[in-house]
Structure 1
Amino acid sequence: MTTVLITGAAGNVATLLRPGLEGLDLRVTDRRAAEGWGTRATVTGDLSDPEFAAAAVGGVDAVIHLAASPLAGAPWSGLRVPNVDVTATLLDAAAAAGVPKVVLASSVHAMGGYVRSGSMIVDPSWPARPCCRYGATKAFAEAYGHAIAATSRTSVVCLRLGLCLPKPTTTGNLAEWLAPADLRRLVLAALAADIRYGVYFGVSANTRRLFDVTNARDELGFELRLDSEVFTREVRPGPAGICPLLHHALPPT
């Protein structure tokens, strides 16, 4: 049975991902206790500590790295350790341990600088263009992941996740929504794919999609199924909620 380490197990994305991980032997870790993982004890500790990171990845077949500060408006002082130091230390530990695969949670913020009203769909192959400091930390994570994949036996698949919630919160984030069910399919596809390194957008089959998911379909076999448009009459009007620089005028409903 495949043994997978989940970092950031107490966070929102891990909580939504959990139902899709049945059949895997899971090891979970966070800085605080995580509930809902059954009999699996959460190993608490700081992944910026190289010794703790090495112990966490020891003997696993893959890592799903979700641990990070998710606050797009956070200052650099609140992002450096959880999003930069932790990611680098975790990837170094995985490479040193010979872990075959790391699925790394990036974000659409890494490419948010391309998004403007009336702009074209963002291609994942374009150079990173963050919209905020948070996005810059995710661009760093992708670059560090590339370096690890190029210099070790560890492959790295970066998933630029959109807004992962059971449903969008406003009409403004209909374009970036990632349904929990699509999140689960995407992560499982990334775990199974024979990819040395790749970067893929994680958004659902939204009518108002801003990010091209063609390579996720072609290279990972990820089939999008859900469309945020079904929520247009349920959610309140609003600007794009992911980042101030992603605010854009959407077509009328």
Structure 2
Amino acid sequence: MAAQNVLVTGPFGEAGEAILNHLADRDEYEFTYLNRSDHPEYETHVADIADYEAIRPAFEGQDAVIHLAAQSDAGADFTDIIEPNIVGTYNVLKAMEDAGVEKLIYASSQRVMGLYEEDHAPELYEEDYPSAHDPFRLTHETLPKPDGYYGASKMFGEHICRTHARRAGAPNQVYSLRISSVRTAEYDHPYGDAERGVDRGTEHAVDDDEVWDQSQTGSWERGSDEYQEMVQRLKASWTSQRDFAQLLECCLEDEDVTYDTFYAVSGNDARWFGIEHAKAVLGYDPQDNGGEWDSPPE
């Protein structure tokens, strides 16, 4: 059976690393990478997704697209969002339609539901919130509440993807994945954000004779209140690289979905996003659970 040709936009960020580490060597897939800058290890079609003519050739002959490229700063201004997240997503859909590419996996974000976290945190990060008999879970049918322009742009992306999936022409299958906390391999564990803050503080202390300001550097000491809060949150929102890669594979192998929305999160005990829909529709079977960790890896 011939390998699927899969184009990945924005492949060299945290989410893309899961593809490079867990799927790129698989015989079932032949990956092509589209990025606005080159990469020393991977052959890359260099183009900005806001430039339709520049990206269009990369879509020829593809069976599927994983669209990760975006301005991913949750606090970005609207002017910084327009071209990469709105124009860029439209260009990807247009290029797929013009090239006849059938399947799109769209990288949405947990930020389309961000106000729920803002309204319920930090209690939200507890395993039994609000009770063991009635845990807080957001489903694919819960009303979206973006917490900023970034989240709103991802909500727009979901809607325009649905529009394309429901009309004549490609893509005919679209999977909107509301991605939680995927991290690079070094920090791919529920203590990752907390340990990254410790590492920042250590680097700053070594490199700078002045006293470092935690509020400005995002740094803290291991065991501090800030450290513990970051651990608690990531134990709930962690998406391991291997679980994210597995969910992508579920989408690539599926033949039935026209358009649907799924949460990309590991099987964490304290998660506030429901994964039952992804299990039922796609056969998603996460292997990792942030609640099973009681210390960072040695």
Cα distance in structure 1, aligned partners of 2:69 and 2:94: 15
The answer to whether structure 1 residue 16 and structure 2 residue 38 are counterparts is: no
> 1:177 — aligned with what?
238
Say yes or no: does 1:189 pair with 2:250. Answer: yes
Report the RMSD for the aligned CA atoms in angstroms. Answer: 1.6
Please list every run of 5 or more consecutive structure 2 residues that lacks an aligned counterpart in the other structure.
121-128, 131-135, 194-229
| Aligned residue number for residue 221 of structure 1 | 283
- Residue 134 of structure 1 and its aligned partner are, at CA, apart by 0.9
Identity %, equivalent residues: 28
Determine which structure has more spread, i.e. the larger CA radius of gyration.
2
Counterpart Cα distance in 2 of 1:85 and 1:62:
20
The structure that is helix-richer by fraction is: 2
For residues 16 and 262 of structure 2, the distance between their equivalents in structure 1, rounded to whole angstroms, comes to 18
- 1:163 aligned onto 2:181: yes
Query: Does 1:34 pair with 2:36?
Result: no
- SS of the residue corresponding to residue 95 of structure 1 reads helix
* Superposition misfits of 4+ residues, deviation over 3 angstroms: 230-235
Assess if the C-alpha contact under 8 Å between 1:5 and 1:26 holds in 2: yes
For structure 1, the residue ranges without an aligned partner over 5 or more in a row are 236-253
The within-5 A match list for 1:76-115 is 76-115=78-117
3-state DSSP of counterpart to 1:134: helix
TM-score of the superposed pair, with normalisation by structure 2: 0.74
**Aligned pairs (5 A) from 1:43-82:** 43-82=45-84
Whether 2:146 is the aligned partner of 1:124: answer no
SS state of the match for residue 160, structure 2?
helix
**In 2, are the aligned partners of 1:8 and 1:14 still within 8 Å (CA)?**
yes
SS in structure 2 of the partner of residue 74 of structure 1: coil
Give secondary structure in 2 for the equivalent of 1:186.
Answer: helix
Distance 1:223 1:53, change over 3 A: same
Offset, 1:35: 4.1
Q: Is the 8 A contact 1:95 1:153 kept in 2?
A: yes
Q: Aligned with 1:141: secondary structure?
A: helix
Going from structure 1 to structure 2, the CA distance change for 1:100 and 1:225 (only over 3 Å counts) comes to: same
User: Does the residue aligned with 1:9 lie in a helix, a strand or coil?
Assistant: coil
Distance 1:132 1:231, change over 3 A: farther
- For 2:40 and 2:151, the matched residues in 1 are separated by 28
Write the deviation string for residues 46-86 of structure 1: whole angstroms up to 9, x where unpaired. Answer: 11112123212111000011111111111112221111111
Aligned length: 232
Task: Report if the CA contact (8 A) 1:92-1:148 is conserved.
Answer: no
Aligned partner of residue 163 in structure 1, secondary structure? coil
Please give the alpha-carbon distance, in whole angstroms, between the structure 1 residues aligned to 2:70 and 2:90: 12
Residue 132 of structure 1 and its aligned partner are, at CA, apart by 1.6
Distance 1:232 1:149 in 2: 43
